[in-house]
Structure 1
Amino acid sequence: MTLIREDGAVEDRFTRADTIDAALAVDGPVLIPLAIADEFAKARPGAEFGVSLPGSTPIEDVKPQLGKIALVAIEFPAFADGRGFSLAKKIAREGFSGTLRASGPLIADEFADALACGFTEVELPETMANRQPVQQWLAAKDTMTEHYQSGYGRGPSILQKRLAARKGA
C-alpha cells in the first residue's frame, strides 16, 4: 500500500489487524475494524488505535468512537463510490481531530475532493499507485482551487466570495 498526504508519500505508522487476537498481538498503533473497537479499547486502555469502516457506515455507528481513536480509515470499494466522501464530511463536522484516511482504489483526480472533504491522507493499493505515481497525485490536488459548495474545502466558496463582493460594492 502507498500512503499519500498533501505533501507527498509517508510511511504508515499503523498495522492492520482484522481480529481482536491479531490486534492485541501488535506492538504499536493498530488499525482495526470498527466492530472490535470497544473490545480492543477495554483490553488495551490508552493504546493508540484507529478504526476501519466502509463508506456506507452510518455516522451514528462511528460517533461514539471518535473521541477515543487516532485514525478513521474509510474503505472505498471503487473510485466511483462516493459514499466515503460524504461520511468523511460528517466525521469532520463531528469535530474529529485525528487522521482521516481514504483507503482503496481512488484515482488522482479525486485527491483535491478528498482533501476538501476532510481526508488527511489516501491509502492506495499498489496497482493504483503504480498507474498513478505520487507526483501525479500531488499535481492533481492543485488543479481545483475554487469550489461552489459552502462548507467544502478551505476558505469561502465562489458564491460566498460573490456575495461578499456585492456587499462591498
Structure 2
Amino acid sequence: MPLLDRNGAREDGWTHSESAATGNIPAVIVPWEHLAEALDRQEPDQTVGVLIPNHLPVSQLAPFLPRLALVAVAFPAYSDGRGFSIARQIRRAGFPGELRASGPLIADQFAYALSCGFDTVELPEASAARQPVEQWLHAKDAFSRTYQRGYGAPERNILDQRRAARVAAATAG
C-alpha cells in the first residue's frame, strides 16, 4: 500500500503481520488483538507497531504506548472520521512515535489528518490510483489557516491569531 507523509510518497520500512508471530522482522505492525503477545515475543533489536480499530478507547492502548514506535489507526471508509479524534487523543497521551492513518482517505482530508497528529497516511492501491501524490500535496497546502488547533503548525490557527490580536490591542490601548 502506498505511504505518504507531508513531503509526498515515501518508502515504508514496516511489515504488516496478521498474527503475533513477528520472527526476525526488524519493524513489524501487528493487529491490536495480537499486540500483547507480540510485545512478549519482541526481539531485542525489533521495533513493534500496532494497527488499531478506530473505535478502540485510547485508555486501552495507553499502557502499551511507551513500548510502541508506531500506531496505525484503521479508517474503514473516508466518511468515518473517528480516527481523527483517536489521533488527537493518542498525541495528548504523549505518544512521540509515528502515527499513521491507514485506509481509504481522500486527498481533501490530508491537511486535517496532519493537523490531528498523523505523520503518515497509508492508502489502499485503489485510493492511490484515483488521487496521485501531487493531488495530495496540493490539497495539503490548499488552506493557509484552520479553525482547529493542530500539531506542529500553531501559526495556522485562526482562533489563536484572533485571540493574540485582541490581547495585543488591549495592552496597546
If the length of structure 2 is used for normalisation, what is the TM-score?
0.91
Whole-angstrom distance in 2 between the partners of 1:19 and 1:37: 9
For 1:70, the equivalent position in structure 2 comes to 69
Residue correspondence of structure 1 range 85-96 to structure 2 within 5 A: 85-96=84-95
Which runs of at least 4 in structure 1 moved beyond 6 Å after TM superposition? Answer: none
For 2:167, the equivalent position in structure 1 comes to 167
Q: 1:27 to 1:167 in 2, by over 3 A?
A: closer
Cα deviation per residue 1:32-85 (whole Å; 9 max; x = unaligned)? 012212211111244201000111110011111111011100000000000000
The alignment yields a C-alpha RMSD, in angstroms, of 1.3
Whole-angstrom distance in 1 between the partners of 2:71 and 2:134: 25
Query: How many residues are treated as equivalent by the alignment?
Result: 166
For 1:42, the equivalent position in structure 2 comes to 40
For 1:27, the equivalent position in structure 2 comes to 25
If the length of structure 1 is used for normalisation, what is the TM-score?
0.93
Q: Which amino acid aligns with 1:159?
A: L
Name whichever of 152-161 and 116-125 sits farther off.
152-161
For 2:140, the equivalent position in structure 1 comes to 141
SS of 2:154's partner is coil
Is the 8 Å Cα contact of residues 4 and 122 (structure 2) preserved in structure 1?
Answer: yes
Q: Which amino acid aligns with 2:48?
A: F
Identity %: 46
Q: For structure 1, which runs of at least 5 residues remain unmatched after alignment?
A: none
Q: For structure 2, which runs of at least 5 residues remain unmatched after alignment?
A: none
Q: Which amino acid aligns with 2:16?
A: R
Q: Is residue 10 from structure 1 mapped to residue 10 from structure 2 by the alignment?
A: yes
Cα deviation per residue 1:18-42 (whole Å; 9 max; x = unaligned)? 1123x23x42210001221221111
